[in-house]
Structure formats: C-alpha cells, structure tokens
Structure 1
C-alpha cells in the first residue's frame, strides 16, 4: 500500500481532495475517505498508456514517474509492473527493474514476456545461469520466440557453452530467416572453432539481409583479409567502419561477444594505415555532426 503522502498526491491528481480542512479549534472527527478503486485503477491504466507512448519515443525519464504512479494506483496489474520494470531496464537501473518485474511475476506467473525480461536483466548483470533459467522458463510457456532464443544463445555463449549457444541461434533463425544477429553470432562461433569459410558464409548471409549491418561486414572483412583476399577485405572494412565507427573499438567488439581469435585478427586489421585513415575520418565526421546546430 502507498503511504499517506502518496495517497494525498493521488487524491489531488484525481480531484478527490477538495474538502476544506477543519480549523484548529474544531473537534476533528475521524472519518474514512472512500476511494473509488475502479476509478483509481482506470487512472493508473491511463498513466501507464502515457508512459508506454513516451517509451516508444525513448522518453524514458518522462515515462518512469508515470509508470511508478500507475503501479500505485493499480498495484494488482502485472502489465503495469512489467512496463515499469522494462523502463528501469532501459535506463540501466537493473536492480529496480528486477524488483518490478518480480512483482509482475508474482501477479502473473505464466507471462512469458516477464520471464524473458528477467532473463535479459540478469544477463546484463552477468548472472548468466540465472538468465538461462528465466529464459528457458519463458520458452516453455511460449516456445520459438526468436529474440528469447537469441538471448538464451548469448547466455550460453558467455558461459563458453558453444554447442548449446549454436543450437539456440539456429532455432532463432529457423523461426525468422531474416534475424541476422543470430546468423552473425553463428559466424562468431564458427570462426573461433576454425571453420573460417562457414563463418564467412554466415556473415555474407547477414549482410545480404541488412546491408547496413556493420558488425557482420567488419567480421567478414577481417576474415577475408586474414585469408589473403586483402583488397576485398579492406574495402568491406572501410564500408563497415563508415557505417558505425564503434566497431573499430576492440573493447566494444569484445562486449559484442567477439572471441579471442577474431579479436586478434581484428587488432592487426585495424592497425593497417588505410583502415586507420578510415577510422580517423569516421570519428571526425561524428564530431562534426555533433557540433552542427539542429536544422
């Protein structure tokens, strides 16, 4: 239950706090304010809808207070608690996100979306075994969800359980042929296992799906260059860095699950003068864009 001050805020918001307060000399007669729970819940739902709309435009700081208030107005709504948990995750407040999502879970234990979100939250906390448990629980209720299968594969990947990771990525692609992130990660595993040709084939397939996908394009560039196809490798590498210069950062690549073998080859690739020049140009272009006044 919210505290008294919170309820006063709710009453002001709902227009239910309008009676004049008694003078100090008057006898204060205890009474109970009768709240219309249905009206409160309706107001909570309205606020939650506003929060969801703001979240669609990535206005998370504006959405959060609305969602928090909505959970107090409609504390038995698992959907609103789930929304609040998701907003906390979007702002990297993992602990509050997990608390809200677990509240949603207690209200609706069979909601796979909540279990998937908890899996994602624990993955971000590097608690990969716990993440796997939640993701598998969600998939038991709603199997064959590509995003959840992909997240499960990533959790196995981080535990170095590559056969299990590969199986989940393959399942994700079987459900969605255009799900290139899973195809890309299959390539990462293949490269680390020494199957370079298969890795290149997978990355080529990912780029065919999305020509603006910088990650598989750079990975393929590195692999081709290492195999001796230097001109094609350099051309692809330049294009990838121009699309997204973050992929010229080895730390960023490691965070995106690139393995030691591919990182070692990428380090050599990024040190090539032609690639260094491309990185400098891309970074300078980014600085210029940040400094340009809005139109």
Structure 2
C-alpha cells in the first residue's frame, strides 16, 4: 500500500494585474487620453497578492483542480518570492503532477527559506520515493520527523522507504509508531501484514489484515491479501468469496504489477498469481470486468 482545464498563464497574469489596478491604469480605454499617473504596488502589497494566489491554489487542490492551481502557484512565487509557502505549494503541485525533478528543485528553494519546516522535508521525501531514490527519501523524512515527530503519514512514508531498502524491522517500527499516533491508520497495519507474510508469519499477517478490514471494510487491498492467504492455507471457498468482494471494490488489485507497486512482496505475489489463475477466480474476474459496461447500460439516456 502506498499513500493521490489549464488556465493560460498570460491570461491569468493579465487578470491579476487588472485586479491589482495596474493593467487598467497602463492600458487606456478607447477614446481617452493617457492617464498621467500609474499607481504602483509596494513590495508588501505584491507579497499579499502572492499569498492570496497561493490560497486560491490550495482551494483548487482541495477540489483536485491541479491544472488550474498550477499557474496560480507559479505566479504566487513571483509575487511573494521570499515566502516559503508559495514555493512549497508550487513544489507540491509539481510532485502531484509527477514532474518530480522540477518539484524537488522548487521544494529545495522552499527549504532554503524555511529550513525548519518539517512539511517540506516530508514532501521532498515523498518526491524522492516516487523517483526510486529510497535512501534520499528516508533521509529527508527522518530529518522532518526530528522537527515534528508525531505525523502518522510521514511515519508511514518512512516505513515504506525502509521497506524498499530491505530494512523490515525498521519499517515495522515506523508503521507501529504511525498506528500509535492514529489508531485507525489501517494502511500501516496492512503493510505490517505484507512484511509478516514474507517472513513466513502467515497467521500474524492475516491478523493484521483483518484488523485493517475491521477499521475500514471498504478497502480492497487487505481483503484480497486475506483471501490469498486463506486460499493458500486450504480455505478455498472462504478465500474465493473474500476475493470477489475485494475485486468488486477495486479491480486494479487483480493486476500483479499494481500489487508490486503497492509493495507486495515476492511470496505474496507468487501466491496471488497462483490464486488468480484458478478457474473459479478467472470466472470471478471475467464477471467483474463485464460489470462496468452493464452498469453504464443501465444508466438513463442523456437528454
């Protein structure tokens, strides 16, 4: 388990200048004489405008309007270039858009302005993780946790970095710290189960996954993991039923590559591959794959 219409830049810049009173002052209306006086914004006013734009970008992010948020965030860094917040928001947006190199560069700028801001470190760690530089990811997150130690999401990300580095004990310790901070943080329970399964502790893994399901029974990943483990133990009917529930919630988990991306280990992947290849699971998968088309066909026709 891992933790996810463009406004033209020039038009946006014009609108900002218009709101600030600069564009309307420099471009006279047709048939009017040139205005002899052009008001100027001082540095403090520009900075406030930049911060306002940054706030707009944040609001757009909340509605997942990332492409709309990006030009605002870029302009915010120009207007409030000495405020780390604007660079932090822009860097986070780049990371969200998978422009990782640019995101890291911008986040490092933010960090130069606010070296004690743990959130920047956490976001840098996430960016490095996505690039596959797990050592750098762990280093950044560790440094952030020294500043702010009680952040479950950061502890979870650190556990994932440790897991990728083959440091299973450290990963479990980090996941357990996340759970200690937030009892309902089921992804950490899920990932401890992934480690325990690889270590041969199948019963322990099942207990972790069942605890995750008890927190949120609408999550496909722990349900499928339990299904595979039960099937491997000979509890075939129970495993098949649970797998059907899981894949009905999220069919992506039938994709072995998707499972690898979500940190499933070699042993669990091998058992899942065997499980999904059974005739009964093939029938389940065929049924699930036809459901979206059936659902669409049941929708009311467009007027």
TM-score by length of 2: 0.87
The match for 1:283 is 289
RMSD over aligned CA atoms reads 2.2
C-alpha displacement of 1:176: 1.1
The match for 1:186 is 192
C-alpha displacement of 1:12: 4.8
Determine the C-alpha separation between the residues in 1 that align with 2:46 and 2:128: 33
Determine the C-alpha separation between the residues in 2 that align with 1:122 and 1:294: 45
Kept in 1, the 8 Å contact 2:22–2:39? The answer is no
The match for 2:31 is none
Q: Which runs of 5+ in 1 are unaligned?
A: 22-31
Q: Which runs of 5+ in 2 are unaligned?
A: 1-9, 29-37
Runs of at least 4 residues of structure 1 off by over 4 A? 8-13, 287-295
Q: How does 1:1-295 map to 2 (within 5 A)?
A: 11-12=17-18, 14-17=20-23, 18-19=25-26, 34-288=40-294
The worse-fitting range, judged by mean Cα deviation, of 61-70 and 166-175 is: 166-175
Q: Deviations over 1:223-255 (max 9, x none)?
A: 011011111111101100101000000000011
For residue 98 of structure 2, give the secondary structure of its aligned residue in structure 1. coil
Kept in 2, the 8 Å contact 1:242–1:278? The answer is no
Kept in 1, the 8 Å contact 2:21–2:39? The answer is no
Kept in 1, the 8 Å contact 2:196–2:204? The answer is yes
Instruction: Name the structure, 1 or 2, with higher relative contact order (CA <8 Å, separation 6+).
Output: 2
Determine the C-alpha separation between the residues in 1 that align with 2:91 and 2:294: 37
Aligned length: 281
C-alpha displacement of 1:15: 2.1
Q: Deviations over 1:104-138 (max 9, x none)?
A: 10110000010000000000000000001100000
Q: Deviations over 1:191-234 (max 9, x none)?
A: 00000000000010000100011001000000011011111111
C-alpha displacement of 1:283: 2.1
Determine the C-alpha separation between the residues in 1 that align with 2:26 and 2:208: 69
